[in-house]
Each structure stands twice: as C-alpha cells, then as structure tokens.
Amino acid sequence: MRLRRGTLWLGGLIVIVLALPLIVTSHFAIDIFIRVLLFAFIGVAWNLMGGYAKQLSLGHAAYFGLGAYTSTILLIRFDVSPWIGMLAGGIVATLASLPIGALCFRLRGPYFAISTIATAQVLMLLFLKFRDFAWGAEGTTMPNLGNAPLMMQFDAKSAYYYIALGMLALGLVITYAIERSWMGYYLVAVGEDEDAAEAIGVNAMRIKRQIYMISAFLTGMAGTFYVQYIYFIDPQTAFSFNISVEAALVSIVGGIGTLWGPVVGTVLLEATSALLQSWFGSSHGGVQLTVYSLILITVILWRPSGLLGVFTDAYERVVHAGRAHAREPTLDG
C-alpha cells in the first residue's frame, strides 16, 4: 500500500517535470528550471560524499571546472562532441579525485573541508596560467554551431532542460542504488564514527575514495553541461567557489544524507533567490542578498537536519495521522 502510494507520487512528479517546458514557455522561467535541475544534480553528487559519509567537501568546483575544461578543450582543439567530452570530463574529474583524496582524506572534519577549498583554488590558479591551451584568464566562447544535437547545441531551451533532467535522474538512481546496498551502510557508518566502522571491518579509506570518485565523476559531467549551456568558459566561472558552496548548501538546507534532500533544497533556495531578485533586484540592489541570507540562517536554525523533514512530517500527519517527529533521518535495515 505504502509502496503503491510512493510510486503514484513519483509517477505524478515525473509527468509534471516532463510536461513543464511544454506548459511554461517563458525563457526566463525555463532558465530558472535548468539552474534548479543542474544545481540539484550537483547537490546530489555532493550529497553522496558530504551527506552520507559526512565528508564535508567545499571544493567540488575543482571537478566541475575540470569537467568543463575537458569537454571545451576537446571540442575546440579536437572537434570532439561534448557528449563524449562529458564522459571524458567525468573521467578526468574521477582521476583528479584520487591524488586530491589521497591528500585531503588524511585530515578529518573542518581540516578536510579547508583542504578541499584549497584544491579548487589551486586548480583555478593553474588554469589562469594555462594561456596556451586553456585561454588563461579571458576564457573563451563556444563555437556556435546552430542547432547541432550531436554537438550538444540546441535552438530550443527545452532541450537543455531535458538533458539536465536526465542527469538529475541519473544522480538520483545512483544514490538510490547506493543507499540500499552495503555501500550506503558503510558510508553512513564512516560518517558516524570512522573508528567504530574500522573495528567492524569497514575499510574507511577505500570507501571514502570510492564515493569521492563517483561524486567527482557526476560533478565533472555537470561542468560540461554548464559551459555548453552558457557558451562560455573562464577559470573564474568554472572553478567558482560559489559552486562548491551551493553544492553543499542545497544539501544541507534540503536534508543532508537523504535521497531527495538536495532536490528539495535547490528548489527552495533557487525559487527564493529568483523571487527576491525580481522583487528587490531592480529597486534596492543588494537587499535581496541580505534577505536571502536571513532566510538561510532562519531555516538552518529552525531545521538543522534539513527541510525535507518538514514535508515528510506534514505528509505523515495528514496521510497517516501519525505523530510527526522532527529529527535526523535514520537508516533502517
């Protein structure tokens, strides 16, 4: 019964998101939807590692940027389709996560977070210097090939929407599969208490390395998509600290270590940010950021375990008339 209702909800959601670009045709709105899907996807990728295994990375821009640059270099220098570039970008990001992980995983807690910030910054500086093959600080625009689906370029904005939707779906399916397997248990165990996990045979170092690779791969894909979408790349955009922060923030606001947390978080944050922008953006520049920050602080004080709980609690209360409990999500057998 429970399962059937869940399937129904999911089915309804799928129909709505698939139909959305057909109903809402305003370019402005679709642009916001694409941003939401993209950042939800990055959030999902971040959440695998930062949420389940509680390895708070603030350097995911490193993989985003590597994915973006890999596909762009392949496209402009070698005429390789960004579809292949996306895969290559993911692989480059995965490979980069190995030495970065080897260095950063020696540290725990806040020290780990700080070291990850440094890696993204170092990569940004490197790409600022690579003038010969990566265009240095001024960056470059993508060649406009018109409507070329095989080269990931489209006239219709809705095409980008469906690509981002597909990526998010992929991220969610991967998360779902991991959550239900031994890996999910091992990740949460490592996040809770690394030593206790080691004591019962969990190779903490290896599982962290593995999830970091998966997370980096997905984030690299997001980077490729983003630069293809905005037709422009430079180190400041590709390795922007904002991307690292946003990836963490949407998960934390939505519900860390949960399947839907990053999605809920992104929808709420992006919607709030877009609305504030349209209300205050033109009349009182800067006010929208202040209001946004205040909302963020309130939300985190009110629900430190994420807003997803608010919805599931309300759902329980209405549907099952059960007692709601505001608490951290718990992994059951």
Partner 1 sequence: MAEALIIRNISKRFGGLRAVQDLDFSVGEGETVALIGPNGAGKTTSFNLITGFHRPDSGSVLAFGRELVGLRPHDVCTHGLARTFQVARPFGRMTVLANVMTGAFLRSRKPEIARERARETIDFVGLSAKEHTAARDLTTIDQRRLEMARALATNPRLLLLDEVMAGLNPAEIDQAVALIGKLSKSGLTIVIVEHVMRAIMAVARHIVVLDHGQKIAEGTPKDVVANQDVIRAYLGTGYAHVATPGDGAC
Min dist CB 202 to partner 1, Å, is 6
Min dist CB 58 to partner 1, Å, is 22
Separation of alpha carbons 232 and 141, rounded Å: 4
Min dist CB 302 to partner 1, Å, is 20
Contact call for residues 283 and 325 (beta carbons, < 8 A):
no
CB nearer partner 1, residue 146 or residue 333: 333
Angle at 21 between CA 20 and CA 22, to 5 degrees: 90
Dihedral angle of Cα 73, 120, 293, 259, to the nearest 10 degrees? 80
Min dist CB 181 to partner 1, Å, is 7
Identify the CA nearest to 292 among candidates 253, 255, 264: 253
Identify the CA nearest to 152 among candidates 94, 89, 96: 89
CB nearer partner 1, residue 170 or residue 331: 331
CB nearer partner 1, residue 79 or residue 195: 195
CB nearer partner 1, residue 50 or residue 85: 50
Contact call for residues 167 and 37 (beta carbons, < 8 A):
yes
Please identify which residue in the block is written with the tokens 């406009």. Answer: 144
Separation of alpha carbons 195 and 201, rounded Å: 10
Q: At what angle do helices 61-78 and 204-230 cross, to 10 degrees?
A: 50
* Integer-rounded Cα radius of gyration of the chain: 20
Min dist CB 332 to partner 1, Å, is 5
Binding region for partner 1 (CB under 8 A):
180-182, 185-186, 188-189, 191-193, 195-204, 257, 328-333
Min dist CB 233 to partner 1, Å, is 39
Identify the CA nearest to 43 among candidates 266, 278, 310, 332: 266
CB nearer partner 1, residue 198 or residue 313: 198
Q: Is 316 helix (H, G, I), strand (E, B) or coil?
A: helix
CB nearer partner 1, residue 129 or residue 180: 180
CB neighbours of 56 closer than 8 A, spacing ≥ 6? 50, 109, 110, 112, 113, 248
Min dist CB 163 to partner 1, Å, is 33
Count Cα neighbours of 172 within 13 Å in the Cβ-side half-sphere: 18
Min dist CB 21 to partner 1, Å, is 38
CB nearer partner 1, residue 32 or residue 187: 187
Min dist CB 329 to partner 1, Å, is 7
CB nearer partner 1, residue 212 or residue 226: 212
CB nearer partner 1, residue 163 or residue 207: 207
Q: Quick count: other Cβ atoms within 10 Å of Cβ 78?
A: 9
Helix (H) or strand (E) holding 211: helix 204-230
